[in-house]
Structure formats: structure tokens, C-alpha cells
Amino acid sequence: MRYRATVFEAGNLPELKTSYGYFVILAVIAVMCIALFIRFKRARRI
């Protein structure tokens, strides 16, 4: 069961080492999704 021991360690999730890291990653993903949506909307692909 080595896999279970390594999945839940913070070493695999570096964004959890800081206090706001998880929220920063979520914000970056949201900004990228919005930017792509606007770009495709302008290109009339949606």
C-alpha cells in the first residue's frame, strides 16, 4: 500500500504548503477558462 501513503502526503501537492496556495491555483484555472471562453467567443466558435 505504498501508493496510498504517497497520495495523501503534502509533497505531491506543493500548492498545499502555503496558506493560500490552493485558492491561487483555483483562481489561475478560473482565469484561464474565462480567457479561453472569451477568445473562442470572439472567434465565433461557441
H runs (alpha helix) in 1-46: 2-7, 21-42
**DSSP structural state of residue 8:** T
Q: Is 25 exposed, middle or buried (0-12, 13-18, 19+ CB in 10 A)?
A: middle
pTM score, two decimals? 0.62
Question: pLDDT tens-digit profile of 3-43?
Answer: 555 555 556 666 667 788 888 889 999 999 999 999 998 88
What is the number of helices (H) and of strands (E) in the chain? Answer: 2, 0
Phi, psi for 13 (deg, rounded to 5): -125, 80
| Annotated domain spans of the chain | 2-42
